[in-house]
Amino acid sequence: MKIFIKSNFFVPGLEHADSVDIDHPRMTLREFLEELSMRAVTPIEYVRQGSETLDPDDWEVAINDIPYQQCGDGLRTVLKDGDTVRISIMALGGG
């Protein structure tokens, strides 16, 4: 299946591609992010180890423009062919 990616940064490991072809017929958002992480030369910890959430200071993730927290199963939401996952890196605001 094909998952489209939108992001405010060039996702390491994807170079300038805007989609990923996945061999598995079924993949959760968490598995997808872990797959993306492994494509980078140095893996990226999108998901906090042992956690059911993203690191909220680092990333905003949405599936088809719906924040993943509102997708019912959160990180366990199963992605469908043609879904768009938006990953945004956060700029911090404190000074």
Residues that bind other proteins (CB under 8 A): 7-10, 12, 42, 44-45, 57-58, 60, 88-95
Minimum distance of other proteins from residue 12's CB (angstroms): 7
Minimum distance of other proteins from residue 78's CB (angstroms): 25
CB burial string 61-70: b at 16+ within 10 A, e below? bbbeeeebee
Q: What separation in angstroms does the CA of 57 have from each of 7, 48, 88? A: 16, 11, 11
Total Cβ atoms within 10 A of residue 54: 22
Q: Of 14 and 22, which has the nearer Cβ to other proteins?
A: 14
Q: Of 16 and 81, which has the nearer Cβ to other proteins?
A: 16
Q: Of 25 and 49, which has the nearer Cβ to other proteins?
A: 49
Q: Of 25 and 94, which has the nearer Cβ to other proteins?
A: 94
3-state secondary structure (DSSP) of residue 61: strand
Minimum distance of other proteins from residue 36's CB (angstroms): 13
Q: What is the C-alpha to C-alpha distance for residues 66 and 51, in angstroms, rounded to an integer? A: 21
